[in-house]
Amino acid sequence: MGEKRSSSAAQISAAKSRVPNGEAELYVAKGWRYNPIPFVTSIKNEACFMILKVARLGFPSVRTTASPVPTERILTHDFQKLIDDMIETMNEYHGVGLAAPQIHLPIQLAVLEVENHPRDPDMPSVPLTVLINPVVTILDDSLVEEWEGCLSIPDLRGRVPRFKQLRVTALGRDAKPLEIDASDFHARVIQHETDHLKGEVYIDRMPNLRTLSFLEEWQRFMLAPPAEKKES
């Protein structure tokens, strides 16, 4: 909480000097044995991926319509580093997605990925995807209601209806067009992240705010016990 989260060249070279020759990347990347600065998770060619501060509800960028990213900007070093930092930030906070307005930048960029989620092993996998200037087309407008949370609205969960199936077209981090058809949970994550680019958050989509729960109470009272969950 009160911990200072900044790095310096001196700290990084101190980290490197404490590990055997040639193994700095490996040990610093693992972040548990020698690394005195655990928020730096990889060091390669003197570049660090940084964990960014997440904007909470109330910060203007969370409620701003994001601007399109100029195509010529995508392949620049700064923009590629921003993408890497967003992926690092999403992983650090166990998010399944992160949109640029959540790191104080109202631009049309979002990242998503789910792989063995630490808090919910049953969560379906979603491949690592970078969406720049995404456009969503709904393919199946039937609504599916499920629980959602958001890094910008910490410690809360709520029931949110989402369209069942969609197609998203966007530019990838290589600045080339991509097209993804997604359904169910994958479609939900894309709808949540692209909503952020319109200045919208999941509680705007909740038809009934009475399901809004703090994480601890949600785990205690709202989730089905594991045995029942498996049988259903």
SS3 94: coil
- Measured between alpha carbons, how far is residue 215 from residues 164, 175, 191, 222 in Å? 25, 38, 22, 10
Interaction residues for Ni ion, span 68-127 (CB under 5 A): none
Instruction: Write down the least CB distance from residue 91 to Ni ion, Å.
Output: 15
CA triple 132-137-140, angle to 5 deg: 135
Q: Residue 148 burial (CB < 10 Å; 0-12/13-18/19+)?
A: buried
Interaction residues for Ni ion, span 156-195 (CB under 5 A): none
Instruction: Write down the least CB distance from residue 54 to Ni ion, Å.
Output: 9
Q: Residue 2 burial (CB < 10 Å; 0-12/13-18/19+)?
A: exposed
CA pair distance 55, 219, nearest whole angstrom: 25
CA pair distance 165, 145, nearest whole angstrom: 13
Annotated catalytic residue: which of 113, 193, 217, 228?
Answer: 193
**Choices 59-67, 132-140, 147-155, 183-191 (CB under 5 A): range interacting with Ni ion:** 147-155
Contact (Cβ atoms closer than 8 angstroms) between residue 7 and residue 50: yes
**Choices 28-36, 128-136, 145-153, 211-219 (CB under 5 A): range interacting with Ni ion:** 145-153
Q: Decide if 115 is catalytic.
A: no
Nearer to Ni ion, 40 or 107 (CB): 107
Nearer to Ni ion, 103 or 166 (CB): 103
From 43, 52, 90, 150, residue interacting with Ni ion (rule: CB under 5 A): 150
Instruction: Write down the least CB distance from residue 110 to Ni ion, Å.
Output: 9
**Choices 28-36, 42-50, 54-62, 144-152 (CB under 5 A): range interacting with Ni ion:** 144-152
Nearer to Ni ion, 28 or 201 (CB): 201
Site for Ni ion, rule CB under 5 A: 150
Catalytic positions: 193
